[in-house]
Amino acid sequence: MFYAVKQAGKLMWQELGLSPADMRGIASAFCAEMKQGLAGGPSSLPMLPAYLGKPGGREEGTYAALDFGGTNVRVLLVRLAEGNYEILRKTTFPLKDAAAGYDLTRAAVDGGELFSFISRKIGELVGTSQRYRLGFTFSFTCEHQGLDKAVLLNWSKEIETSGVEGRDVGMLLREALRREKIDNVSLAAIVNDTTATLLTGAFAERACDMAGILGTGYNVCYTEPNNPWTKEEMIVNIEAGAFAQAPRGRYDLLLDKQSERPGEHLLEKMVSGRYLGELVRLILLDLHQRDLLFRCENLSRFIDKGALPTEELGLVLAHAERNGFLNNVKLGDKWGCLQITEADYAVLRQVCRDVRDRSARLAAAAFAGVLLRIDPQLDRRHLIAVDGSLYEKLPGYAVALKKALGELLGENKEKVSLRLTKDGSGIGAAIAAATSQTLF
Ligand code: BGC
């Protein structure tokens, strides 16, 4: 038993381990790439301007918000008043639903069809009796050419709908609203979900100057005091998931090779919820082949790409936290593995923890990289607004992130806090729509 556990542990450290010195190296490389990207030099970090600064906190009114962050889309009506927000109505709908027989994320589907579908949902939620300005959170890599004009550079999160890349998603939405005869809604602002989360965090507390999404996708934004576009304070969407300097191991290379877009969004493939389950699956198959795991089992359950969703990693981790035996949760039955031994369980637990912790340590290193850029001596207090299912729901993730950030910041660690900012993408879209009124 102990041989397998020890060998697997060794291999995991080689493949996934990050010491504090490794994290510091990643943080300075991240900061260097930020500077290069801002200066328009060669960099894996796109550094995209948001054309918005922090909100004043006094924005008021009722706004429609569209939150398109992945395969689940939300439409909300949000009221802002006296520094508070309230969600008056909301609806969530999937872009693919096998039972209902549609999938709007395939390359065979055209962007017009996708945005018409979304527009009809907007119409259903807002009704016809009032006019609304709409804030649109679109959580993909876009080049903003103004606050309501954002050209999709490339899809991520395995979405492939055609006729959207290279086009202004604001225009696509406006055209669709017109086609669907929804004329009481006007698009006011388009923001990335990190920007929306920062707006929400800063609406409540001025010290908030960074935001991170740790969910299906991964990204970071911050307020750049001296941006090259307007020379004023502006939120910059780093597209941190595109960072290409983090050390990758053999499982990362394998995962990237079989992904929809090899060579792109490399850090996202090591950090985000879209990929962590897949990483664990590849590791389990390899450990099985090396005779270190599930020796009595045939692993047919894990053969196919995507066969292990990140939520199942959450099940193992939830149990690991309570130190239970895997069969107690019937995960063995679920996976068709009937003879899981205690050694198997120990290895499995270790793999899930190591994959989770590496993700958190990489995310901490990227945050530290941003701090190196905006306040290298840590003279001020910083609040990082964080949203996303990994951070909110994966057992042990938030703790691992805080611990890693603490290791990086040392005695200054009290100056930087992380705050879960739920619904930041939706609320932030409304704040962006409100802020935009004061801009023109
Ligand atoms: C997208 C980002 C987004 C992040 C989090 C990434 O795949 O490229 O724009 O902020 O996911 O949703």
Reported as a pLDDT band with limits 50, 70 and 90, residue 318 is confident
CB count within 10 Å of CB 256 equals 18
Q: Tokens standing for 283?
A: 């590791």
The neighbouring-strand residues paired with 259 are none
Q: Which residue among 73, 137, 140 is best mutated to probe the pocket of ligand 1, counting the most ligand atoms within 8 A of its Cβ?
A: 140
The dihedral sign for the CA sequence 212, 216, 218, 221: negative
Q: What is the position in ligand 1's atom list of the atom closest to the CA of 242?
A: 8
CA 246/CA 258 separation, integer angstroms: 19
CA of 71 to the centre of ligand 1 (A): 12
Is ligand 1 within 6 A of the CB of residue 139? yes
Task: Look at residue 74 and give its three-state secondary structure.
Answer: strand
Contacts of 429 (CB under 8 A, 6+ apart): 63, 65, 66, 67, 76, 78, 134, 135, 136, 137, 189, 191, 196
The neighbouring-strand residues paired with 144 are 150
List strands edge to edge, sheet with 48-49.
48-49, 234-237, 218-224, 208-214, 382-387, 416-420
Is ligand 1 within 6 A of the CB of residue 192? yes
Is ligand 1 within 6 A of the CB of residue 141? yes
Is ligand 1 within 6 A of the CB of residue 197? no
Q: What is the position in ligand 1's atom list of the atom closest to the CA of 241?
A: 6
Reported as a pLDDT band with limits 50, 70 and 90, residue 324 is low
**Tens digit of pLDDT for each residue in 165-204?**
999 999 999 999 999 999 999 999 999 999 999 999 999 9
Query: Global pTM?
Result: 0.93
Q: Do the beta carbons of residue 239 and residue 219 sit within 8 Å?
A: yes
CA of 219 to the centre of ligand 1 (A): 5
Answer yes or no: is pLDDT of 230 > 50.
yes
Answer yes or no: is pLDDT of 221 > 50.
yes
Q: Do the beta carbons of residue 373 and residue 34 sit within 8 Å?
A: yes
CA of 217 to the centre of ligand 1 (A): 5
Cα distances (Å, whole numbers) of residue 145 to 48, 51, 170, 188, 211: 10, 9, 11, 14, 22
Answer yes or no: is pLDDT of 301 > 80.
no
- pLDDT at site 338: 64
Host H or E run for residue 33: helix 20-38
Mean pLDDT of the chain: 92
Which is nearest to 420 in space by CA: 391, 390, 400? 391
E-strand ranges in 272-422 read 382-387, 416-420
Is ligand 1 within 6 A of the CB of residue 435? no
Is ligand 1 within 6 A of the CB of residue 69? yes
